[in-house]
């Protein structure tokens, strides 16, 4: 009798290996091969199977508003559902560790869908450092929708606990926050919120991390959402928003809103997002390696830098207990609005632009740009430094980026030349470690 074939022998010895590849699951099914080992995220991101009749390698764009046929068919009208969008949603559910994902026309569209389940009299507890657009929508709901919105310091669990009550129907968090890069304890706050009200939904805006670095649903949140305009697509060529949930009833509620209001992502944009997300791992790895080097460069030259990759970040341990990386957004202060303006205007590779998560490096002054919709009095009340500069680091060559930033700091007059190179003016003036004291020149 012939002995076992070589592959059979191998298979016996290495049960964890899917030697013939037949166990590969179709994306978007949960991709745990039968050998029990789940694929790493970098693999999951790239692996999809369109199920297309011609075996197309890339999911086709079903650029069609309507689908012929009678009642009972899977698709009838693209507002209600479209095969390209469905494929993206199922792929994203896998990536987000969610039972269901829904994709809409922008990150704010996602936030709108989520907050539409609130009713007059409901209470929302949220942070005091939030993306300007989120703050704007919550302010609208407070002023026009009868929703009681409480902004508290979500970095302090006891402060959040004190704000929670049986009337709290939603807790809306960002971590790291935009633009102050504060870290929020997703697990601690989720437990406290559910204890205060078992029906309370904890929603986490995961835009600053992406599912590659953080999975809020695994940490106890009920909803994770993010702007697909940022890291997920990565090229600033599409607007998108994505929502992930584990609860089927919550997923149905959100789907109802999306179908009712018509904010589902269009077929071509769904295709663009699907294409972009495949390179998320390589982009993010390169972007955050560059960001880390730039954060160290600025800190070593005496600037007060906010970045969770730096050990000097006061919530470094908390961040790394819930995330797998630091992302590519950092902010720093100069002590002067005029100085910050001159720096921002003096870079070339760091383009002046809102947004982040793009392959290109960007520079901005949040108080003038992304967070300008928060009125100056509120910005002051929430200690948002007017001089703060936000950097979103891309995939360019690191030396080129450091050179670009160095020449901008020198040209702007933000540094003093020393025998070893240069140091921030604030260091020269003995102001290290200060919380921003904005000095406005006349």
Binding site for ligand PLP (CB under 6 A): 106-108, 131, 133-134, 174, 178, 205, 207-208, 227, 229, 239, 241
Q: Single out the residue of 410, 402, 365, 423 nearest to residue 289, CA to CA.
A: 402
Q: Pick the catalytic residue: 230, 304, 306, 379? A: 230
CA distance 264 to 104: 4
Residue 212's binding partner among ligand PLP, ligand LKTG3HHF, none (Cβ under 5 to 8 angstroms by kind) is: none
Q: Single out the residue of 322, 120, 348, 97 nearest to residue 224, CA to CA.
A: 97
Smallest distance, ligand PLP to C-beta of residue 42, A: 24
Question: By C-beta, is 108 or 183 nearer to ligand PLP?
Answer: 108
Helix (H) or strand (E) holding 245: strand 241-245
Smallest distance, ligand LKTG3HHF to C-beta of residue 366, A: 7
Residue 174's binding partner among ligand PLP, ligand LKTG3HHF, none (Cβ under 5 to 8 angstroms by kind) is: ligand PLP
Residue 241's binding partner among ligand PLP, ligand LKTG3HHF, none (Cβ under 5 to 8 angstroms by kind) is: ligand PLP
Question: By C-beta, is 214 or 370 nearer to ligand LKTG3HHF?
Answer: 370
Name the pairing type of β-strands 148-152 and 223-227. Answer: unpaired
CA distance 362 to 350: 4
* Residue 322 binds ligand LKTG3HHF, judged by CB under 6 A: no
Question: By C-beta, is 163 or 265 nearer to ligand LKTG3HHF?
Answer: 265
Our measurement of the distance from residue 291's CA atom to the centroid of its chain's CA atoms, rounded to an integer in Å, reads: 16
Phi, psi angles (nearest 5°) of residue 395: -105, 15
Binding mask 344-373 for ligand LKTG3HHF (x = CB under 6 A): ----------xxx-------------x--x
Residue 373's binding partner among ligand PLP, ligand LKTG3HHF, none (Cβ under 5 to 8 angstroms by kind) is: ligand LKTG3HHF
Measure Cα distances from 125 to 30, 146, 404 in Å.
34, 14, 41
Smallest distance, ligand PLP to C-beta of residue 125, A: 17
Smallest distance, ligand PLP to C-beta of residue 105, A: 8
Q: Single out the residue of 56, 32, 13, 70 nearest to residue 274, CA to CA.
A: 56
Helix (H) or strand (E) holding 178: none
Contact criterion met (CB below 8 Å) for 206 and 216: yes
CA distance 220 to 400: 41
Residue 106's binding partner among ligand PLP, ligand LKTG3HHF, none (Cβ under 5 to 8 angstroms by kind) is: ligand PLP
Question: By C-beta, is 178 or 224 nearer to ligand LKTG3HHF?
Answer: 178
3-class DSSP assignment, residue 205: strand
By CB under 6 A, what part of segment 266-295 binds ligand LKTG3HHF? none
Would residue 230 show up in a list of annotated catalytic residues for this protein? yes
Would residue 131 show up in a list of annotated catalytic residues for this protein? yes
Question: By C-beta, is 105 or 346 nearer to ligand PLP?
Answer: 105
Q: Pick the catalytic residue: 131, 201, 255, 307? A: 131
CA distance 124 to 201: 10
Would residue 62 show up in a list of annotated catalytic residues for this protein? no
Q: Single out the residue of 345, 329, 330, 328 nearest to residue 409, CA to CA.
A: 345
Our measurement of the distance from residue 238's CA atom to the centroid of its chain's CA atoms, rounded to an integer in Å, reads: 15
CA distance 308 to 314: 9
Would residue 411 show up in a list of annotated catalytic residues for this protein? no
By CB under 6 A, what part of segment 118-157 binds ligand LKTG3HHF? 131, 133
Q: Which residues bind ligand LKTG3HHF (CB under 6 A)?
A: 131, 133, 178, 354-356, 370, 373
Active-site residue list: 79, 131, 205, 230
């Amino acid at each position: 009798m012939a002995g076992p074939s070589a592959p059979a022998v191998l298979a016996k010895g290495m049960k964890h290996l899917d030697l013939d590849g037949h166990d590969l699951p179709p994306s978007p099914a949960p991709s745990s091969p039968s050998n029990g080992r789940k694929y790493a995220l970098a693999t999951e991101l790239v692996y999809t199977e369109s199920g297309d009749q011609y075996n197309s390698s890339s999911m086709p764009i079903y650029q069609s508003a309507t689908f012929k046929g009678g009642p009972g068919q899977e698709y009838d009208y693209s507002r209600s559902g479209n095969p390209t969008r469905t494929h993206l949603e199922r792929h994203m559910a896998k990536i987000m560790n969610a039972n269901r994902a829904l994709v809409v026309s922008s990150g704010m569209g996602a936030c709108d869908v989520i907050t539409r389940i609130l009713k007059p009299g409901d209470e929302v507890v949220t942070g005091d450092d939030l993306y300007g657009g989120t703050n704007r929508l919550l302010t609208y709901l407070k002023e026009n929708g009868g929703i009681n919105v409480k902004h508290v310091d979500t970095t302090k669990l006891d402060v959040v606990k004190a704000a929670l009550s049986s009337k709290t129907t939603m807790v809306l968090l960002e971590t790291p926050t935009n633009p102050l890069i504060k870290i929020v304890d997703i697990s601690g706050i989720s437990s406290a919120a559910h204890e205060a009200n078992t029906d309370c939904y904890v929603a986490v805006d995961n835009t600053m991390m992406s599912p590659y670095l953080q999975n809020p649903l695994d940490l106890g949140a009920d909803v994770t959402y993010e702007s697909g305009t940022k890291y997920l697509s990565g090229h600033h060529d599409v607007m998108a928003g994505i929502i992930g949930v584990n609860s089927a009833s919550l997923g149905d509620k959100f789907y109802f809103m999306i179908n009712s209001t018509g904010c589902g992502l269009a077929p071509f944009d769904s295709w663009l997002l699907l294409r972009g997300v495949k390179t998320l791992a390589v982009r993010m790895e390169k972007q955050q390696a560059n960001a880390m080097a730039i954060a160290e460069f600025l800190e070593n030259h005496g600037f007060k830098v906010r970045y969770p990759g730096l050990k000097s970040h006061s919530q470094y341990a908390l961040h790394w207990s819930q995330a797998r990386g630091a992302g590519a957004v950092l902010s720093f202060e100069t002590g002067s609005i005029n100085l910050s303006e001159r720096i921002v205007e003096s870079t070339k590779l760091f383009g002046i632009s809102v947004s982040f998560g793009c392959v290109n490096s960007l520079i901005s002054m949040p108080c003038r740009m992304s967070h300008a919709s928060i009125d100056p009095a509120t910005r002051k009340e929430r200690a948002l430094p007017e001089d703060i500069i936000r950097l979103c680091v891309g995939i360019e060559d690191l030396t080129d980026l450091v050179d670009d930033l160095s020449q901008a700091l020198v040209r702007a007059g933000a540094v003093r030349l020393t025998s070893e190179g240069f140091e921030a003016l604030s260091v020269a003036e003995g102001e290290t470690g200060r919380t921003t004291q904005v000095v406005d020149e006349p």
